[in-house]
Structure 1
Amino acid sequence: MQIGIGLPNQVRDVTASTIPRWAVRAEEAGFSTLATTGRYAYPGVSDTVALAVAAGATTTIGLLSAVLLAPTWPAALLAKEIAGIDGVSGGRLTLGVGVGSREDEFTVPGHGLRGRGGRLEADLATYHEVWGGAPVGDGPNPAVPTGTRQVPMLFGGYSARALDRMVRWGEGYIGGSLPVAMTAPSFEAAKRAWREAGRQGAPKLVVLAYFALGDPETGRTNIRDFYRLAPEDIAGNVVLCTTPHMVEQSTAEYAGLGVDEIIFVPATDDLDEVTRLADIVA
C-alpha cells in the first residue's frame, strides 16, 4: 500500500508560504502523493492554488485533490484550471471529486447547493470536452494546449450516485477520515459497483486519515473547528492519529482491507510534521 501526505492548505489560518516547502520536503521524504482538502468558506488556501504551487515545487510526487467540491465551480473554468495544473506537473495530477453538502461553500451565482448532483453530471462531460480540445464558448478556440490529457478522476461520497459516477467517469474511490468499520462498507460497495458495471480490473481505493504528532491538542482543536458544522456522525468519528502506534495501526488496518493508498492529512501546519510522519512510515 502506498502512503501519501496531505498539504496543510485547509488548516485554519495556515501560513501559506509553508505549502511549497511542505511539498518539497514530502517529495524528499518519499511519500507517494501530495493531497489537498477542498473548502471555500474557510480561512485556508484554495486547493487549486495549493496544487499549482506543489506542482511547481516538485518533480515526481503524485498530486491529488481529496476532494475538490466540483459543483461549486463553473465547469469549463475548473477544467482549464485542472488541465493547467496537470500540465505544469508533467501529468502527475489526479482530480478527486465530491459534491459538497454545505450551503456556504456554494458562492458562485447559479451554482448553489440545490441541484448540485445533476449539475455535476453535465460538468463531467464538459471536463472531458475541454480536455479533449473542443472549442469553448462561441469562438473557435479550445481552452487548453494541444496534448492536454484526460485527467484521471477519483470520486468521494456515500451515495449510490457517487458510485455510479465513479464507474462511468472515474478510476476509483476516495474514503473519508473515518474508522475502518465505517469506511469498509463504502470500499466494498465501490468494488461491487465496479464489477457490476463491467469495468476491467479493480477501482483504485484511497483513504484519508488525519494526523497530529508534534502537538496533538492543537490538532484536535483544529479538527473540531474544521468539522464543527458537519453532521455529528462525521464530526464525532473523524480519525486523528496522534502517536506512532496509531499511524501504524491505521496503515495496517487499511492494508488489510486492500486499500491502495492511505493519505495522512495534517491537522497542523508545522513543517516538521512531514519528517515526524516519514520517520514512522519509512
Structure 2
Amino acid sequence: MEIGVALPQMAPGYGPGTTLDWARGIDAGPFSSVSAGERVTFSNPEMVATLGACAAATERVRIFANLWVLPPLSMPMVAQQIGTLDHLAPGRLEVAVGVGGREHDYRALGSEFKGRHQRLDDKVAELKSLLAGEPPFEGAAPVGPAVTRQPRILAGAMGPKSMARAARWADGISGFSIAGDAAEISRGNALADSCWAEAGRSEVPHKVSGCFFALGVDDSAEQLHAFTARYLGFLGDELAEAIAGTARASSAAVLNEILDGAEAAGCDEFILVPATTDLRCLDAAAELVAARS
C-alpha cells in the first residue's frame, strides 16, 4: 500500500511559504503523492493554484486533486485546469471528484445544492468528452491544453447509491475515515468491489482512503481534536465536537495500527491529512513510513 500526504491547507497558520515547504518535503520523503482539497467558504488556499505550485516544485510524487467538487463548476474550465496541471506534472496527475457536503460552498458559487448527484454524473461525462478532445460545442475548438495522459478519475463516493452511480464512470474510489477505522474502510472497499461487479466492470476499482493525523508536535492529541472540530464546524458545534472525538491518529503506535488496518482492508493508497502546518509533523510521518518499508 502506498502512502501519500495532503498539504495542511485546512489547518490554521497556513502561510505564503507553507505550500512549497510541504510539497518539497513530501517529494523528498517516502511518500506516493501530494494532495489538496477544495473548499470555498473556509480559510484554505484555492486547490488548483496550490496544486500547480506543487507540480512545479516536485519531480517524483503524484499530484492528487482530492477532491474536486464538480456540480457547481464549469467543465470547460475544469478541463483546462486539468490539462494545465498535467503539463506541469506530465503523467503524475490524479483526480478525485464528488458532490461535497457543504451547502455554503454551493451558495457562494451561485449553484443549487439540490440535484447535485445527477449533476455530478452529467458533468463527469462532459469532462471526459472534453479531455478526449471533443469541442465544448459545435464549431468550437477543443479546450486546451490537451492532456499528455488521461488522468485516473476516482469518485468520492461513500454510500450504496453514490457508489453504484460511481461504478458507471469512475476508475476507483477516494474514501475517508476520520477515525481511521479498519472495519469502516473495509466496508467501503467491499462495497466498491460489489458495485463495480454489478455494473459489469471487469477491472477492480482503485481504492484510496485516508485520515487526519498529528505527530511530532506538542499536545498532538489536542491539536488533532481542535483541527477536526474546526474543519467540521459546518455541521454545527455539537456534532463537530462529537465526531472530532473519534479522531485518534496522534501517536506513532495508533497511526501504524491504522495503516495496517487500511492495508488489510485492500487500500491501494492511504492519504495522511495533517492537522498542523508544523513541519515536525511531516518529519515524524516520514520517519514512520520509512520504517514500514
Q: Please report the TM-score for the alignment, with normalisation by the length of structure 1.
A: 0.92
Structure 2 counterparts to residues 154-173 of structure 1, below 5 A:
154-173=154-173
Amino acid at match of 1:206: V
Q: Does the 8 A contact of 1:8 with 1:267 survive in 2?
A: yes
Are residues 236 and 184 of structure 1, via their aligned partners in 2, closer, same or farther at CA, if it must alter by over 3 Å?
farther
User: Percent identity of the aligned residues?
Assistant: 27
Task: State the partner residue of 2:211.
Answer: 209
Does the residue aligned with 1:199 lie in a helix, a strand or coil? coil
Alpha-carbon contact 1:13-1:43 (below 8 Å) kept: no
Deviation at 1:69, TM superposition (A): 1.5
CA contact (8 A) 2:225 2:245 kept: no
The structure 2 residue matched to 1:275, chosen from 266, 283, 286, is: 283
- Any gaps of 5 or more consecutive residues in structure 1? none
Structure 1 range deviating more: 267-276 or 214-223:
214-223
CA offsets 1:8-44 (integer angstroms, 9 cap, x no match): 1222351142111211111111201112122111101
- The 3-state SS of whatever aligns with 1:55 is helix
Distance 1:37 1:147, change over 3 A: closer
Q: Which residue number corresponds to residue 108 of structure 1?
A: 109
Task: Name the residue aligned to 2:5.
Answer: 5
Q: Deviations over 1:98-126 (max 9, x none)?
A: 201221111222x2211211211221111
Q: 5+ residue gaps in structure 2?
A: none
User: Which structure 2 residues correspond to residues 152-191 of structure 1 after superposition, within 5 A?
Assistant: 152-178=152-178, 179-191=181-193
1:132, 1:148 within 8 Å by CA — same for their partners in 2? no
Matched residue SS, 2:186: helix
Where do 4+ consecutive residues of structure 1 move more than 6 Å? none
Q: Distance in 2 between matches of 1:45 and 1:55?
A: 15
Out of 223, 232, 243, the position equivalent to 1:227 is: 232
Once the two structures are TM-superposed, the CA of residue 166 in structure 1 deviates from its matched residue by 2.7
Pair 19,258 (structure 1): closer, same or farther in 2 beyond 3 Å: same
Q: Provide the rounded CA distance (Å) in 1 between the counterparts of 2:147 and 2:77.
A: 18
Q: Distance in 1 between matches of 2:147 and 2:263?
A: 36
Matched to 1:244, the amino acid is A
Give the partner amino acid of 1:208: G
Structure 1 counterpart of 2:190, which letter? Answer: E
SS in 2 for 1:169: coil
Letter in structure 1 aligned against 2:116: R
Q: CA separation in 2, counterparts of 1:240 and 1:76?
A: 40
Deviations 1:90-149 (A, max 9, x none): 12111111201221111222x221121121122111111211122235653211134543
Which residue is 1:94 aligned to? 94
Question: Are the counterparts in 2 of residues 211 and 219 from structure 1 also a CA contact under 8 Å?
Answer: yes
TM-score (norm 2): 0.89
- What amino acid sits opposite 2:48 in the alignment? T
Give the CA deviation at 1:235. Answer: 3.0
Is the contact made by 2:76 and 2:130 (CA closer than 8 Å) also made in structure 1? Answer: yes
Match of residue 239 from structure 1 = 247
- From the superposition, tell whether residues 114 and 243 of structure 1 become closer, same or farther in structure 2 (CA, over 3 Å): same
Q: Distance between the aligned counterparts of 2:227 and 2:21, measured in 1?
A: 21
Instruction: Compute the displacement of 1:237 (Å).
Output: 6.2
Q: Aligned pair in 2 of structure 1 residues 35, 237: CA closer, same or farther (>3 Å)? A: farther
User: How many pairs are equivalent?
Assistant: 281
Alpha-carbon distance in structure 1 between the residues aligned to 2:197 and 2:136 = 35
Residue type at the aligned position of 1:228? G
Distance 1:92 1:151 in 2: 8
Question: Which stretch of structure 1 is more off in the superposition, 28-37 or 150-159?
Answer: 150-159
Paired letter, 1:271: L
Give CA deviations for 1:238-282 in whole Å, capped at 9, x if unaligned: 534111101110111111111111111111111222111010110
Read off the aligned partner of 1:218 and give its amino acid letter.
Answer: Q
Decide whether aligned partners of structure 1 residues 79 and 268 sit closer, same or farther in structure 2, where only a CA change above 3 A counts.
same
CA-atom RMSD in angstroms: 2.0
Query: Take 2:145 and 2:163, find their aligned partners in 1: how far apart are those partners?
Result: 31
The match for 1:258 among 266, 270, 288 is 266
The equivalent of 1:197 in structure 2 is: 199
1:125-176 deviation per Cα after TM superposition (whole angstroms, max 9, x unaligned):
1111211122235653211134543321111122334223432221111121
Matched AA of 2:209: V
The 1:172–1:26 alpha-carbon spacing in structure 2 relative to 1, beyond 3 Å, is same
